[in-house]
Amino acid sequence: MNAEQQYIDLFSQTEAMICQHSAEVMNAPRATAFADFERLGFPTRKQEKYKYTDVSKFFEPDYGLNLNRLDIPVNPYEVFKCDVPNMSTSLYFVVNDAFYNKALPASHLPEGVIFGSLKEMAEKQPELVKRYYGKLADTSKDGVTAFNTAFAQDGVLLYVPKNVIVERPIQLVNILRGDVNFLVNRRVLIVLEDGAQARMLVCDHAMDAVNFLATQVIEVFVGENAVFDLYELEETHTSTVRISNMYVRQEANSNVLLNGMTLHNGTSRNTTEVLLAGEGAEINLCGMAIADKNQHVDNNTSIDHAVPNCTSNELFKYVLDDQSVGAFAGLVLVRPDAQHTNSQQTNRNLCATREARMYTQPQLEIYADDVKCSHGATVGQLDENALFYMRQRGIPEREARLLLMFAFVNEVIDTIRLDALKDRLHLLVEKRFRGELNKCQGCAICK
């Protein structure tokens, strides 16, 4: 039986159960998404967009799914102390693919701001969720997005009304928990109305040493003059596969910072698609990956300059050791009417061993003549002259290598617009390079 058929059979047998434990708004596009999945199947290397990662093979094993929404025996607020020092956050959890609402923290959110279970909010405010859910994530174009939309039953909603500023950063911790090999389908819907501002930190952790497969679809709507920061930090383990598709739409004069950092993983495939739909919009799209052993990190991005006078800055850096594999493919599209576009794309990569592999594919498609666009990519090793210089001054070779690698990725960390989080990342990256377990301090799960 191929990977697709087992899930086609599963959906046919359990569709009523899936819908029963979800909300009508999430159920509405489910049949169409399933039909698209039947037609598209899981992506393979034969598709240009997925040529560096054979996604289909990860769905072949037999995984458990919690379609009946049984309670998972864990209270993350008691055992998972994941606060970033000196950064007071509003802390929430998703356990596998269900929002944990049994012991919510005292609310620090301004009036009108919603953060909670997508399923519950879709039941309480169906018109709000219906206006946005599934509108960016086109199931007809991507098999993973179609699969996720067909099977997702819950998720997270962040809604910030017009001109409301959320001062305190929101922290969402995704916990993978299972006694058997497990598949989860996470969904995130983020809406900032005109003039709104918010910052969000999402951390991925795996609690048990089983094989996890996580699909994730994130839709982000950012209104006129709105400002939004989204930081994603992946710290799981080598038996975890994460396939994440993020879709972003920005209106006029909006400002968005997306920064995805992979510190520890098994296989990660991240797709980010940004549409600059209003004049004066600015996107800062950044990423960093540190990989060793047989870890695999693949980032595929596209930025669509659909209107004039928009700015995009893209920076991705990888440090690869042992037999790890990295991939980056970034497309910047400047449409015919998008005059006065300013776009810069940079991908820099270090391979610490001859066995490490990096594939990079920067792309520019420009159909306007009055633009300022550039892109560049490099793959290399540590500067031997710099190593020699440092060793001549008494720095041991291992320490010198660590210092050079840390300096290399520091540029990505410095894009973070939260000082406490920036300091925390400096510490985590240093620990990662030193080979120490990259677990949160004070976390009972990680001890």
Chain segment 317-335, per-residue pLDDT in tens: 999 999 999 999 999 999 9
**pLDDT at residue 108, rounded to an integer:** 79
- CA proximity to 15, closest of 177, 118, 153: 153
Rounded CA gap, 190 and 50, in Å?
A: 26
What integer pLDDT is reported at residue 81 of this predicted model? 65
Taking the domains of the chain in order of start, what are their residue ranges?
3-434
Helix (H), strand (E) at residue 258: strand 255-264
Is 438:428 a contact under the CB 8 Å cutoff?
Answer: yes
Distance between CA atoms of 424 and 369, rounded to whole angstroms? 43
Q: In the 8-state DSSP scheme, what is residue 64?
A: B
Query: d(Cα 105, Cα 442) in Å, to the nearest integer?
Result: 18
pLDDT score of 434 = 84
pLDDT means over runs of 10, the chain (447 residues):
88 96 97 97 94 95 92 76 69 93 80 96 96 97 97 98 96 93 97 98 92 98 98 95 98 98 96 98 97 96 98 97 96 96 96 93 94 90 72 76 84 93 90 71 49
pTM (two decimals): 0.94
